[in-house]
Every structure is written in C-alpha cells, then in structure tokens.
C-alpha cells in the first residue's frame, strides 16, 4: 500500500478512529497497530509476511535468552545467530544473484568461460533492508546492556512492523521506540496537527515534485547518449531533487503518521542540500541509516580513534557498505566509494565537523561564501547521483563523461519543474530550523496562501503520475 494511493487515504482514517476509541486500552491499541501493520504490508504480497514474523520471533527469543544466560560465550553465540539469521535473509533475497553474476563475470574475464545456471528468480521483499536492521539493533543493544528485552511479544512485534516506517524507515532504535510502544499514549491535539502538517508537506514533495521529475529524469537517462551536456546536467539535477523529495517525502509522511498515533520517530532528513561540505551532508541525509552504520559498524571497527590509515580504511568500509546496502549493483558500490573520496579531505583536514549548526543561523540570507560552499557541495553530490541512478557502471561513466560536452540543451528546460524547485528551496529555507514543524509560518495570510497553494498542487497532481517510492527497492 502506497502513502500516495487512494487505498491509504481510506486505510489511515479507519485505523486512526479505531485506535483512539481504545485510548485507555494500551494492549488493544498495540494489537490494532500489529494487525493494521500486517494488512499494510500484506497489501503488496502477503507471502512475505512470513519473513517479518520469522525475523520477529528470532530476535524476540534471542533477546530474552541473552539476558538469561550467564555465559559470555553463549551470549556471543546468540548474538551471532541473530546476525546470521537477519543478514542471511537479506543476503539471499537481495544479494544472491548479484554475487553469483559477479563471480561468473570474474571467471569469464580471466578466461574460464562458464555458463551461469545458479541465479534464481527472486523477488525482493519490500522493506527487508529496513526491518532486518531494526531487529538486529535490538539484539545488539541487549547484548551491549544498553536495553532490556521486553517479554511482551505483541509489543515487540508492533515495534518491528509499525506500518508508517516499516518499508522505508526511518530505521528506528528499540531504545527510542520500544518504550513508547510499552507505555500509554495520550491523545494530543497539537501533536496530531503537527503530524498532519508533516503528511501534507511529505505528500507535496512526493506527489508534486518527485513524481513530476521522475518522467523527465527517465527520459534523459534513458537516452543520455543522444543528449547534450546541458541536458545531462539538467537530468542529474532533476534526479537530485527527485530522490530527495521522494525519500524525505516518505520520511515526513511516516513521521507525521506516527504522530497521529502518539509516537515520535527520529528525524531522517535535515535539509541536506543546504550543507556546506560532504561531512555536513551526511549528518543531514538519511540520518537513521548513517547513525546506524556509525554505531554498529564504524565505532566497533575502531572509528577514528586509531591511526590515520586505519581511520581512512574504516571510512571507506562504511561508505562502500552503505552503498551496497542501497542495492545489489556495482553502481551503488562506486557511489559509496565516491562519497568516501569526497569526505576524505575534510576528515584529513579535521574540518568534517566544522559546520554543525544550520547555515545562515539567525540570518535571512546566506553570505556569498556560504552560497559558494552550498553550491559546491550540491554539484559534487549531484555527480554522485549519476552513479546511483544509472543501470550499469559503463552507463554511469559515459553519462558523466558526456556531461562535459559543451552543447546546449537538446531537451527544453521544463518551466513547471523549475517553478517546483524554486518553490521548494524558498519554503525549505524558511523552515530550515525545524524539520519536524513544516509549514508553520507566523504570518497568518502567508500561512493560508502557502497551504492553499500546496493543497491545490497536490490535488492537481494526485493520481496523475503515481510512482512507487524509490527506496522501496532497497
């Protein structure tokens, strides 16, 4: 079930009303959450519900067993079992064909001609990359004594399958979300209004901007060899806006929907295209994933506490694994490595944490220097998106090479898309202090105009070009 579908417009109010009818019955509310989450997920393919249930049972039992056992060795075996089960599911459904194909290609490249008979017709279960990471973090936190396991299976299953963030995050931590599941929720009008504003803002980014950009991006990337350099730059910029509005739009709707039920999910985006260097960009882009890798991979590897050489190795591991997480394709691996290269100068020069606060703090407009830094970061990130969007490495490198072709536009710039991009930049610039409170302008006339404009654009675009969220494929 898509957030931008008529089915969800019917599904959400029904669940909301039934849920708050049992305001004093936390256990019944959790059962409602669990059932509605399984309906939401099963809408795509009910057969894959078995994977979520399997992952839920495994980590629920292992979490309890880790606390009960006294042997450190047995605790490690239990943790290892949880990781193998979760990563095993992920590796089989997401990466099996990729590794087989890569192995066959390697043999062929060195002269051992062989026919590939081992690849399978595997359908990638929606959201598997998200909920496996979420359940793994639960077990790891228990092993580290950062969290006590819950004996309430319904509550734990609700935590794993919570439908607003089940298929594309944010990847929640049990330390933040499980206590909310276990405690009573209070009907809070302000929280609900805040959630509705987030849903509206997320729908605008997805339905109006991302879906409108998607068709033009497909047209340019699908015929890039016959396009001029200007058009290819335009296609890359369009995709930069498409993927941002697609994914951050989903996150806004997810966080907003969770608020309707009295929950607070972690922020996933904090205006990343206003970043002044790549280090700042990664503190503002897909925060739940980057902090997951930081806490469960980068720091255990030694982080930046060892020698400079080992720290650089760790940075490359993190970025490459992060790239591979996005998809079973060499393009994602190169995309990750590309960002590692972009990040290194600021890490070596110790300026990666130079920009902590939002740009132009307490000012209405940025300085020329800040504008230069923002544009420089955006251009570098946009070049990286070419690898992310391309089907093969050959296509990606050819696309980037052709971007240097000094020809004019072979496809006329789309005025409507330019208007959407400018509107997004203006609105986000004014909202940049608080990503959880969009569209909260002090001046009432301005607020009314913006709301009317956004609602009108959503209505005009809703259902005309519906596209699946890009991160559903990850």
Q: Are 407 and 230 in contact (CB under 8 A)?
A: yes
In the structure encoding, which two tokens stand for residue 245, read together? 């509005």
Phi, psi of 263 (to 5 degrees): -110, 150
- Is 182 in a helix, a strand, or coil? helix
326 among known catalytic residues: yes
Cα(248)–Cα(270) distance, integer angstroms: 9
Cα separation, 94 vs 87, whole angstroms: 10
For the chain, how far is it from start to end, CA to CA, in angstroms?
Answer: 16
**Any alpha helices (H) in 144-210, and if so which ranges?**
153-161, 174-182, 189-203
Helices (H), 327-414: 330-348, 368-389, 393-402
Choosing from 286, 326, 339, 402, the catalytic residue is: 326
Q: For residue 61, what are its two tokens?
A: 């039992």
CA distance 14 to 349: 54
DSSP 392: S
Helix or strand or coil: residue 124? coil
Q: Which of 137, 126, 139, 135 is nearest to 78 (CA)?
A: 139
As annotated, the active-site residues are: 326
């Amino acid at each position: 079930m898509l957030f931008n579908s008529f089915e969800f417009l019917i599904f959400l109010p029904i669940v909301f009303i039934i849920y708050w009818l049992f305001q004093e019955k936390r256990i019944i509310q959790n059962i409602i959450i669990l059932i509605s989450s399984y309906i939401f997920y099963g809408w795509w393919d009910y057969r894959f519900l078995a994977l979520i249930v399997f992952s839920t049972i495994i980590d629920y039992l292992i979490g309890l067993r880790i606390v009960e056992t006294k042997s450190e060795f047995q605790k490690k075996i239990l943790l290892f079992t949880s990781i193998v089960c979760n990563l095993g599911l992920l590796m089989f459904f997401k990466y099996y064909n990729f590794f087989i194909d890569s192995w066959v290609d390697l043999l062929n490249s060195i002269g051992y001609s062989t026919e590939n008979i081992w690849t399978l017709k595997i359908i990638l279960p929606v959201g598997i990359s998200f909920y496996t990471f979420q359940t793994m973090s639960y077990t790891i936190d228990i092993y580290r004594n950062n969290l006590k396991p819950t004996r309430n299976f319904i509550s734990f299953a609700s935590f794993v399958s919570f439908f607003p963030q089940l298929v594309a995050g944010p990847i929640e931590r049990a330390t933040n979300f499980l206590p909310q599941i276990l405690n009573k929720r209070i009907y809070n009008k302000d929280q609900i209004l805040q959630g509705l504003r987030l849903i509206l803002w997320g729908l605008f980014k997805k339905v109006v901007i991302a879906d409108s950009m998607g068709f033009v991006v497909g047209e340019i990337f699908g015929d890039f060899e016959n396009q001029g350099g200007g058009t290819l730059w335009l296609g890359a910029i369009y995709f930069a806006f498409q993927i941002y509005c697609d994914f951050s739009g989903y996150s806004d709707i997810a966080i907003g929907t969770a608020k309707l039920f009295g929950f607070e999910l972690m922020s996933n985006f904090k205006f990343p295209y206003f970043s002044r260097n790549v280090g700042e960009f990664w503190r503002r882009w897909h925060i739940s994933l980057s902090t997951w890798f930081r806490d469960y991979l980068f720091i255990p590897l030694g982080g930046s506490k060892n020698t400079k050489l080992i720290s650089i190795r760790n940075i490359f591991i993190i970025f490459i694994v992060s790239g591979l997480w996005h998809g079973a394709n060499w393009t994602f691996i190169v995309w990750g490595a590309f960002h590692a290269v972009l990040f290194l100068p600021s890490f070596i020069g110790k300026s990666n944490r130079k920009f902590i606060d939002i740009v132009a703090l307490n000012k209405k407009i940025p300085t020329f220097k800040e504008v230069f830094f923002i544009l420089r970061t955006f251009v570098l990130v946009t070049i990286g998106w070419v690898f992310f969007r391309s089907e093969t490495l050959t296509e990606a490198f050819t696309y980037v090479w052709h971007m240097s072709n000094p020809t004019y536009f072979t496809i006329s710039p789309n005025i409507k898309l330019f208007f959407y991009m400018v509107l997004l930049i203006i609105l986000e610039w004014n909202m940049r202090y608080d990503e959880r409170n969009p569209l909260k302008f002090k001046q009432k006339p301005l607020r009314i105009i913006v709301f009317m404009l956004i609602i009108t654009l959503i209505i005009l675009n809703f259902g005309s070009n519906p596209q699946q969220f890009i991160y559903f494929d990850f």
